[in-house]
Structure 1
């Protein structure tokens, strides 16, 4: 199952994005599923790995967003809620199930959250060992089996200095990264989910708004092509 969830920091906010393709090789199924979720009014989160673990975490994060976002340490607040769920599933996971050896049904799960705690932006992840990572300074993080490809795609855009540009620029960059992954990996697929987050709140884009962002991606590509065409003139 290839999943990718990304978060990036911009000059005036944050962007979270994900694909929505779930592939279950054990059952030979692919289907869309929501990977980005609200966390109160000023944050969002997504995850990769076991759907059972992510379902349990969704219930917890939905019920306790204020307690998480008002905590002195957002990473610790997420860790305190995530680790018991991970441990429960690890303790009860049956490793050797012959009929499911190729299913990839490991409970190993990553969680990635981004948003505002007061006027402070944060990008935090929790890995399958329960370790906390902070990425406000680096300005980008990706989780999921597609994360290495996302890191590489974003690195190719480094010269555009997205951390110095607006959230609108960040949305275009995030969608361009996801579209690049969709071309290179058949298990990454749409519809793509995008969320713009500022100190005023988090907004999950609807399909029409995402189409508008994709039109801007197309315009960006045409401008790049024009520059390249004229490079040796």
Structure 2
């Protein structure tokens, strides 16, 4: 199961993902990097076929800056992703003798960042359709996306779109850790990226630990507020 999510805040975007890959054909799970740089002011993550995502990683490593600097990020993303999808769809062998279950080329892509100083959250589905999520301020992809959407809805009253991006980072790790605790197919280490108009910063393991410490403090404060609710 994969979860990649983006949360828009007042002065930045928090983007995060888990790192557990499930290979149904071989019955394996293993860690892999799912969150990547897209130029200097954006990041992207994908869910689905590892073969498709590998090809996209090569393209975005070379052309990520061009995507972000284009007149329309969604159309620029679409122009690069759709030909890769079509290639893999055309060469996909659906039925393999002796193999009961395997992956498919179906792939989702989520990217977020700043273009001309304005925030964007854009996704692309396996049909090549573009989605814009700047107004809602949240989007997630992957098989764990429905659970992430629900977790975000439960935190909606904290109004992350009106808060500093540091709050968004803590909310992102809280959502991912909740999914990690409730689903055996979501697993760490968790990747976090802080994106502001100044650039995208991918957090180190130690920095992720610091964010998780703030999450623990947030939970402790909630416990204290609940304990005093009927005082």
Shared fold, TM over 0.5: yes
Query: Superposition pairs for residues 174-193 of structure 1, below 5 Å?
Result: 174-193=172-191
- Report deviation, 1:69: 1.1
Distance (whole Å) between structure 1 residues aligned to residue 198 and residue 171 of structure 2: 21
Structure 2: distance between partners of 1:65 and 1:180 = 31
Please give the alpha-carbon distance, in whole angstroms, between the structure 1 residues aligned to 2:216 and 2:193. Answer: 20
> Secondary structure of 2:173's partner?
helix
Which of 125, 141, 146 aligns to 2:123? It is 125
In structure 1, the residue matched to 2:161 is 163
Partner deviation per Cα, 1:49-68 (whole Å, 9 max, x = no partner): 00000000000011012221
2:105 corresponds in structure 1 to 107
Residue aligning to 1:136: 134
Query: Aligned-pair distance for 1:45?
Result: 0.1
Pairwise CA distance, 1:70: 1.3
Instruction: Please provide the CA RMSD for this pair.
Output: 0.8
Once the two structures are superposed, residues 88-120 of structure 1 have per-residue CA deviations (whole angstroms, 9 ceiling, x without a partner) of: 0000000111433323x1110000000011201
Distance 1:213 1:185 in 2: 21
**Distance (Å, rounded) in 2 between the aligned partners of 1:45 and 1:222:** 32
Counterpart in the other structure of 2:78: 79
1:186 counterpart SS class: coil
Matches of 2:126 and 2:183 in 1, distance apart?
23
- Partner SS for 1:178: helix
Residues 1-233 of structure 1 correspond to what in structure 2 (within 5 A)? 2-103=1-102, 105-233=103-231
**What is the distance in 2 between the residues matched to 1:166 and 1:151?**
21
Query: Tell me, what secondary structure is at the counterpart of 1:100?
Result: coil
In the alignment, the residues of structure 2 paired with residue 141 and residue 65 of structure 1 have an alpha-carbon distance, to the nearest angstrom, of 20
Q: Write the distance in 2 (CA, Å) between the matches of 1:110 and 1:101.
A: 24
Question: 1-side partners of 2:125 and 2:172: how far apart?
Answer: 22
SS class of match (1:97)? coil
SS at match of 1:182: helix
For normalisation by structure 1, the TM-score amounts to 0.98
Give the match's secondary structure for 2:150. helix
- Give, in whole Å, the separation in 1 of the partners of 2:146 and 2:186: 13
Q: Give, in angstroms, the shift of residue 26 of structure 1.
A: 2.0
Question: Residues of 1 paired with 2:22 and 2:11: CA distance?
Answer: 35
CA deviation profile, 1:66-90 (whole Å, cap 9, x unmatched): 2211111100000000000000000
Q: Paired residues, what number?
A: 231
